[in-house]
Amino acid sequence: MLDGRRTVAYSFTPPTYTLKNVNAGPLLSRFTTTFGYSVVKRGTAYESVTTPDLGTFSDADFVYQGGHKYDISDAEAALLIAAGYSPILEP
């Protein structure tokens, strides 16, 4: 915060997907587990990956790891919106 004003207006949490627990027995196979995609930024292009490897981290500009919330700038939010993602405008 500078002079009582917020400098970050948006937050971004990568999208999630669910998987059904297969071969987990009669009780646990009724439930699903939620996982988070990781969103990889390369320049102005974004890509969702389920399990980024070490090579992904070395050649990417930034990696938004699934399951985490990130404070982002207005410019980054505009790029994410253009790529089809949904950052959240913080009150």
| Structural domain total, the chain | 1
Q: Which domain holds residue 18?
A: 10-89
**What's the one-letter identity of residue 16?**
T
- pTM for the full predicted model: 0.80
Q: Please give the full DSSP string across the chain, using - where no structure is assigned.
A: -BTTB-S--EEE---EEEEE-TTSHHHHTT-EEEEE-EEEEETTEEEEESS--HHHHHH-SEEE-TT--EEE-HHHHHHHHHTT---EE--
Q: Is 32 within a domain?
A: yes
Most confident of 7-11, 22-26, 76-80, 87-91: 76-80
**Mean residue pLDDT across the chain:** 89
Tokens of 55: 């090579």
Q: Is 42 within a domain?
A: yes
Mean pLDDT of 51-67: 91
